[in-house]
Amino acid sequence: MIGKKVDLTESVAGEEDPGASIELPISPTSEKACPNCGGSGRTASGECPVCKGTGEVTAGIGGA
């Protein structure tokens, strides 16, 4: 492209907005093993009261 001027304000690929950012769905929480029962869903007295027997609890990511 020597000697040819290129207009950088237009997309050469035909995108509607080449400068737009892509937003990905990010959940601020995730599932982790229940700290009360160690992920088993059970305690010595029966069903774990913290996770209700699932063995998993919802935890915030990054302190959320």
SS3 at position 42: strand
Is residue 46 a part of any domain in this protein?
Answer: yes
Q: How far apart are CA 4 and CA 44, in angstroms?
A: 78
What secondary structure does DSSP assign to 1-20, as a single string?
A: -TT----TTS-SS--S-TTP
| Percent share of the chain, pLDDT over 70 | 59
Q: How many structural domains is the chain composed of?
A: 1
Is residue 40 a part of any domain in this protein?
Answer: yes
The average pLDDT across 55-60 equals 88
Domain of 59, in residue numbers? 29-63
Is residue 49 a part of any domain in this protein?
Answer: yes
Is residue 50 a part of any domain in this protein?
Answer: yes
pLDDT at 56 over 80: yes
Cβ–Cβ < 8 Å for 58, 35:
no
Q: Which position has the higher pLDDT, 20 or 64?
A: 20
Is residue 48 a part of any domain in this protein?
Answer: yes
